[in-house]
Structure formats: structure tokens, C-alpha cells
Amino acid sequence: MSLRTITRALPSRLTMRTFSVATRLSAGGDAGAPRSGGSAQGDAFTKREQASENYEIQRREKDKLQALKAKHEKLKLEAEAAGKELEKAEKEGKQ
């Protein structure tokens, strides 16, 4: 029996098998087994942790809002300046 006959007898998926490793995607805070009692039951640490996370989220949102307000004010001033410049150019063009 030749080598050619042996390789033809093997199923193709055995020779073409590849291995892949995928990382497991976890949601934020997934670090282990769930607590007994579910999310309805919370001890002082859980409540403090949740309060801390809420505070950080609010702080970030406040910072983002302040940045947007500053950007809006800057664009508003630029638009006013451009409007004044346009009016000035129109007046000079009419004279």
C-alpha cells in the first residue's frame, strides 16, 4: 500500500483541523460567582461600591457637559464675530 493511498483514505477534516483560541468577553464587574441572594440582597460593601460607581458616572457626565457648554460658547462667539465681519464686508461693498 502506498503513502498516496493512505492519505486519500484519511478524512480531509482531520488533516485540515486548525486550533483557535478566543478570549472570553466579560461584562464589567464579572469577576466570579454571583452572590447568594441575587442582586436584591446587598451588604454595606455592595451598596458603597454602587454609590461610588454612580458618583463617578455623574462626575464624568458633569465634566462632559461642562466641556460641551464651553465648546458651544466658543462656537457662538466665533459665529457672532463672523456675522459682524460679514455685515462689515456688505457695508463696504455697497459704498
Per-residue model confidence as pLDDT tens digits over 46-60: 889 999 999 999 999
Cα(92)–Cα(44) distance, integer angstroms: 72
Predicted confidence at residue 55, as pLDDT, reads 97
Could you tell me if 79 and 73 are in contact, meaning their C-beta atoms sit under 8 angstroms apart?
no
Predicted confidence at residue 73, as pLDDT, reads 97
Q: Is the dihedral of CA 31, 39, 47, 43 positive or negative?
A: negative
The model carries a pTM of 0.47
49 belongs to a structural domain: yes
89 belongs to a structural domain: yes
16 belongs to a structural domain: no
In the chain, how many domains are there? Answer: 1
48 belongs to a structural domain: yes
Segments in the chain below pLDDT 50:
none
Predicted confidence at residue 46, as pLDDT, reads 87
> What is the residue range of 48's domain?
44-95
The pLDDT tens digits for 18-27 are: 555 555 555 5
